[in-house]
C-alpha cells in the first residue's frame, strides 16, 4: 500500500489512523533517512493509541514505554545499537511478542531478530515532487 503526503500534518494523520486501528502484538518497523518524518509518524501513531504525553526519539535508551493509551506503546530506536545482544539484554521478546504495539525505528539494523510477522513502513522523499512530499509505503509481511 502506498500513501503520499505533502505535509507533516498529513503524515501525522495517516499514522494516527494506523494507531487507532492497531491491535495488541502489532510490530511496526520504520525505515527512512534522517529528517524524513519518522518522529512525526511515531507521534501520530501514539496519538492514535490515545497517548497524550510527548513522544521523543528514544535517544539514550533503546526503548521508551508509554502505558497511558488504549494499548501499551513500545517505541524503539535502534540506531545506536552496536550488536543485537543489546536487544537481548533489554528482553526485547517481551515487547515484540507482548501485549502492546511496537514501533521500531531503524529496524533494518536488527533484521535478524525482527518478528516474521510485522508491518513495514518506509518513508521516502522525492524532491522532484516538492520539499514536503513523502511517499509512505506500508507492507504487511509474514501473514
Q: Residues interacting with Mg ion, by CB under 5 A?
A: 38-39, 57
59 binds ligand ADP (CB under 6 A): no
Cα separation, 132 vs 6, whole angstroms: 5
Residue 39 or 137: which CB sits closer to ligand ADP? 39
Under the criterion CB under 6 A, does residue 8 sit at the interface with ligand ADP? yes
Per-residue DSSP letter, 76: E
The site string for ligand ADP over 19-58 (x = CB under 6 A, - otherwise) reads -------------x-xxxxxxx------------------
Q: Which does 134 bind (CB under 5 to 8 A by kind): ligand ADP, Mg ion, none?
A: ligand ADP
Three-state SS at 101: strand
- Main-chain phi, psi angles of 25, to 5 degrees: 95, -5
Q: Cα(44)–Cα(11) distance, rounded to whole angstroms? A: 8
Amino acid at each position: 500500500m502506498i500513501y503520499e503526503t505533502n505535509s507533516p500534518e498529513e503524515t501525522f494523520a495517516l499514522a494516527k489512523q494506523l494507531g487507532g486501528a492497531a491491535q495488541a502484538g502489532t510490530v511496526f518497523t520504520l525505515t527512512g533517512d534522517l529528517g524524513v518524518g519518522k518522529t512525526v509518524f511515531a507521534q501520530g501513531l501514539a496519538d492514535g493509541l490515545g497517548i497524550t504525553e510527548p513522544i521523543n526519539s528514544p535517544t539514550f535508551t533503546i526503548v521508551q514505554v508509554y502505558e497511558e493509551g488504549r494499548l501499551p506503546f513500545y517505541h524503539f530506536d535502534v540506531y545506536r545499537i552496536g550488536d543485537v545482544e543489546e536487544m537481548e539484554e533489554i528482553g526485547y521478546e517481551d515487547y515484540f511478542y507482548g501485549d502492546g504495539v511496537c514501533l521500531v525505528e531503524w529496524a533494518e539494523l536488527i533484521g535478524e531478530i525482527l518478528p516474521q510477522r510485522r508491518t513495514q513502513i518506509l518513508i521516502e522523499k522525492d524532491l522532484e515532487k516538492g520539499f514536503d512530499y513523502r511517499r509512505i509505503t506500508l507492507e504487511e509481511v509474514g501473514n
